[in-house]
Amino acid sequence: MNLMPVWISLQLAAVTVVVLLVVGTPLAWWLAVSKSRLQMVVDALVALPLVLPSTVLGFYMLMLLGPQGPIGGPWFEVTGTTLTFSFAGLVVTSVVYSLPFVVQPLRDAFRSVGAAPMEAAAVLGARPLDAFITVACPLAGRGFLTASVLGFAHTLGEFGAVLMVGGSIPGETRVVAIAIYEHVERLEYGSAHLLSAGLLAFSFFVLLTVYAINRRTRPGAGR
């Protein structure tokens, strides 16, 4: 059996989580501390992938990332490649649909850290960014763990949007979820079983690890 889809899925999930942590951390902090009305709007936008069918996301991503789209167009000009039906396009799509799974746990973790430790750092002479990196982020450590694992696991599990944006190019965009679908279509139940059971077991143990760590860490100890 071809294990390439497993490798593609793991790569996609890992890259997506890294991008989401970079983008999502400042966004989550802003959502946690902002008192502006805009915060509600952004909160709702971030949560959208939780409720939309993945075909809706996939459709709009296709529009955005296509060679004539507002993102895909300039991308083609610069790189000479298309975002649709490419690994890069899958990363962009995954970042969007896994956004709430990373941003929401981070936002809640920053909220529970609260303003008090940041104030303490400020009166000790720490600049805001310094205090954020050395105090708020370590104290929100469990939130980072939860966010990474949920983001990773959810990216592994996505099907619809990935299929619409990436298609099923072996070695490029054919991820596990799509490989399973194709195995079933071709009545190759043995391979479908193997990949499905693998994904199921992997997801279960990842979630179990998160809950175990969350349980062991005392609230407030933060690591």
Partner 1 sequence: MSEPLLQFDLQLTRGDFSLSAKGEVAAGITALFGHSGCGKTTLLRCLAGLEPQVRGEIRQGEAVWLSAQKRLPAHQRRASMVFQDNRLFAHLTTAQNLDYALKRRRGDGPSRDEVIAVLGLENLLERLPSQLSGGEVQRVALARAVLCGPSLLLMDEPLAALDYGRRRQIMPLIRAIPERFGLPVLYVTHARYEVLDLADQVMLMEDGRLMTTGSVAGVFSSPECWQKLGGLDPMVVWDGTVVAHDTGWGLTTIATEAGPLRFAGLRPRRGERRRVRIAARDVVLMLNPPPTSSLINGLPVKVEHFEQHGGVTRVKLIAGEGAPLWAEISQQAVAALGVKKGQRMHALISPQVLGVDS
Q: Quote the DSSP letter at residue 49.
A: H
Residues in 126-165 at the binding interface with partner 1, rule: CB under 8 A = 126-128, 130-131, 134-135, 138-139, 141
- Residues in contact with 217: Cβ distance below 8 Å, sequence separation at least 6, in sequence order: 142, 223
Considering the complex, state which of residue 142 and residue 174 has its C-beta at the smaller distance from partner 1.
142
Q: How many CB atoms lie within 10 A of CB 139?
A: 20
Considering the complex, state which of residue 78 and residue 129 has its C-beta at the smaller distance from partner 1.
129
Let me know: does 161 contact 58? Beta carbons within 8 Å: yes
Total of chain residues touching partner 1, rule CB under 8 A: 24
**Torsion of Cα atoms, 52 then 140 then 22 then 200, to 10°:** -50
Residues in 100-129 at the binding interface with partner 1, rule: CB under 8 A = 116-117, 119-128
Q: Mark 186-215 with x for binding to partner 1 (rule: CB under 8 A) and - for no binding.
A: ------------------------------
Q: Environment class of residue 125 by beta-carbon count within 10 Å: exposed (0-12), middle (13-18) or buried (19+)?
A: exposed
Q: How far is CA 85 from the centre of its chain?
A: 19
Let me know: does 181 contact 77? Beta carbons within 8 Å: no
Q: Mark 57-86 with x for binding to partner 1 (rule: CB under 8 A) and - for no binding.
A: ------------------------------
State in angstroms the smallest separation of the CB of 141 from partner 1: 7
Considering the complex, state which of residue 135 and residue 147 has its C-beta at the smaller distance from partner 1.
135
State in angstroms the smallest separation of the CB of 33 from partner 1: 13
How far, CA to CA in Å, does 165 sit from each of 80, 94, 127, 148, 169? 18, 10, 42, 23, 11
Considering the complex, state which of residue 20 and residue 109 has its C-beta at the smaller distance from partner 1.
109
- Token code pair at residue 87: 């690994």
User: Does residue 216 belong to the site contacting partner 1 (CB under 8 A)?
Assistant: no
Residues contributing to the site for partner 1 (CB under 8 A):
116-117, 119-128, 130-131, 134-135, 138-139, 141, 218, 220-223
